[in-house]
Structure 1
Amino acid sequence: MTFAMIGTWRMAYEGLSKGMELMKNGGNSSDAVETAIKEVEDYPFFKSVGYGGLPNANGLVEMDSAFMDGDTFAVGAVAGISDIKNPISVSRKLSKEHFNSFLVGSGASEYAVLNGFERKSMLTARAKKIWEKRKREIAQENLSPYDGHDTVGMISLDPKCSMAVGTSTSGLFMKKPGRTGDSALVGDGFYCDSEIGGAAATGLGEDIMKGCLCYEIVRLMGTGLTPQAACDKAVYPFIDKLKKRYGKVGEFSLVALNNKGEWGVATNVEFTFAAGDNKNAPKIMMANPGEDGTTVIEPITKKWLDAYELRIKAPID
């Protein structure tokens, strides 16, 4: 009875642990993904997802989310949705629609309200303070407005060999109203095929979407590569190609899980993630780019975790 999950960033850990427990008790992969991501969306100190997410240039929290069922290829997604408590749940609901399964802006918010999803202002007092501080810094120090773009992505495999993937993000901090990145785009920010595996991305969406990397990782796993080999082969050569041809590259981090419960990671920055399976309790790990197109993965340290907790909860001047 194999089941497993992997999720992006330290913020995935608590939700992933709940999703794993759900599958341990007979739950399915789709429920596990939704449960795990809702946990992240609801926690106000994770400033790049859901409640407490950082707003756009006008001070509005616009969120992107997607869900994909690996058994059926059903996809649902929202982009630029606002004032809705759990975008991942809206995305999953939309995945059951054959038509109109990807909605944006006011249309996505209207659909959510009409289908009984909870309305909620997602802008916390803390996030507003961060936004106001950034506006001052931009005006006084001529800094770039753009900072922060961490997506939570979750991939799950349940005991019945069904797989699912989901994403959720408030997107690029201080983005222009209406901007969306890769997180809601199938093949770019996520992809899943229960006969092979799934992948999810986080980082600068404008660059990640140039490579269709999640689809490519799943395709490579389908040729027989392990998730780690597929991540390395898809991500690092593309980063080099993009740097050469486009001139610059933003942050890239991708995770993958196959239908055997094996996982892989590739990144061009220091990147934390959480993973677990039926034999190994969920844990947080650190990945860094290694030499010659490989990834170095190490256990997270208590010192790092303690510093992280202090950082995300530090007072805002």
Structure 2
Amino acid sequence: MWGMIATWRMAHDGVLAAKELLEGQASCKDAVETAIKAVEDYPFYKSVGYGGLPNERGIVEMDAAFMDGKTFKIGAVAGITDVANPISVARQLSDEKFNSFRVGQGATEYAMLAGFERKNMLTDRAKKIWEKRLAEIAASNLDPYDGHDTVGVVALDTQQQMAVGTSSSGLFMKKQGRVGDSPLSGSGFYVDSTIGGAAATGLGEDLMKGCLSYEIVRLMGEGLSPQAACDRAVYGFEERLRKRYGKAGAFSLIALDKNGAWGVATNVEFTFSVATADQEAAIYMANPGPDQTTVITPITQEWLDAYEARIKAPV
């Protein structure tokens, strides 16, 4: 058995590429890195990698993490700049016994010295969007913050090992140095090959209040299905957060267990991509349903066409 699940429609092409690796008995670690690099490299995705929207100063600061479910090795970067593929840096850092989580200039310098590709990650398109938002804020006192879609991928290979990875350019117009949940173990991601793995996307400041990725894996370890674990963790936490904090930002979680079963829960409309040995690669739509459940439906061609037009629309 092999399987893979990833956040958002934007991950689907990467899932298709990684699926071929898993079918050829490649490692889950290679599959995760391959899937996420495909998203990082695509210039029309505004929340990850090349083309990601910048912070308030016009700088693309990126966060990424990688975890090996067999050994619990973790590597992560936060606030890294001018590096083509932060997920690859995070994966290499996971082999370090010490200093495996690097931030800011230290992360960028590590990547440069290690020979990773240097790249200006601010595209002309992203710069225009940033300039437009600056003008809108000045003219109308608009809320500057928008967009916080992390690509998260959980994979299971034919050797029954698992890995998880995340990558994000974070909140558009964020303050310099802001870090979300994506590189934080237990919050943005977690995996244990004897149980399963999970990854998160959404407003990091709220996600890190709940450590939902770890909680979902813990619940799967107690015998819950991935879907039941996602529903219980996500909707239970959202209810507590609204009651005690007063509000809850958007967040969505994906999960995959050691048998290739998967689950999703979300408090907003959320798309995701899945492929397993028993299931053709496909994109689905998830929405919060009644009684703390999740409604999952296949994506429509109409939605896909509108999505493609939207992400490539003139600025």
1:23-43: CA deviation from partner (whole Å, max 9, x where unpaired): 101201000000000000000
What's the CA shift for 1:279?
1.9
Residue number in structure 1 paired with 2:287? 288
1:51-85: CA deviation from partner (whole Å, max 9, x where unpaired): 00000000000000000000000000000000000
Aligned: 1:300 with 2:292: no
What's the CA shift for 1:155?
0.3
Equivalences for 1:1-317 in 2 at 5 Å?
2-316=1-315
Tell me, what secondary structure is at the counterpart of 2:272?
strand
CA distance in 2 between counterparts of 1:305 and 1:250 reads: 25
- Report the TM-score, using the length of structure 2 for normalisation: 1.00
What's the CA shift for 1:263?
0.3
Tell me, what secondary structure is at the counterpart of 1:192?
strand
CA distance in 2 between counterparts of 1:158 and 1:69 reads: 12
What's the CA shift for 1:218?
0.1
What's the CA shift for 1:200?
0.1
- C-alpha RMSD of matched pairs (Å): 0.4
What's the CA shift for 1:204?
0.1
Tell me, what secondary structure is at the counterpart of 2:22?
helix
CA distance in 2 between counterparts of 1:237 and 1:70 reads: 26
Tell me, what secondary structure is at the counterpart of 1:281?
strand
Residue identity in the other structure for 1:200: A
What's the CA shift for 1:281?
1.6
Residue identity in the other structure for 2:101: F
Tell me, what secondary structure is at the counterpart of 2:280?
coil
Moved over 2 A (4+): none
Q: How many residues align?
A: 315
CA distance in 1 between counterparts of 2:197 and 2:279 reads: 20
Residue identity in the other structure for 2:33: E
CA distance in 2 between counterparts of 1:249 and 1:219 reads: 23
CA distance in 1 between counterparts of 2:278 and 2:5 reads: 14
CA distance in 1 between counterparts of 2:283 and 2:129 reads: 27
Residue identity in the other structure for 1:302: Q
Tell me, what secondary structure is at the counterpart of 1:275?
strand
CA distance in 1 between counterparts of 2:5 and 2:259 reads: 13
What's the CA shift for 1:158?
0.2
- Report the TM-score, using the length of structure 1 for normalisation: 0.99
Tell me, what secondary structure is at the counterpart of 1:14?
helix
1:233-258: CA deviation from partner (whole Å, max 9, x where unpaired): 11101101100100111001000000
Residue identity in the other structure for 1:71: K
CA distance in 2 between counterparts of 1:171 and 1:280 reads: 31
CA distance in 2 between counterparts of 1:253 and 1:25 reads: 30
Tell me, what secondary structure is at the counterpart of 2:75?
strand
Residue identity in the other structure for 2:57: N
Residue identity in the other structure for 1:225: L
CA distance in 1 between counterparts of 2:134 and 2:26 reads: 45
1:138-160: CA deviation from partner (whole Å, max 9, x where unpaired): 11111000000000000000000
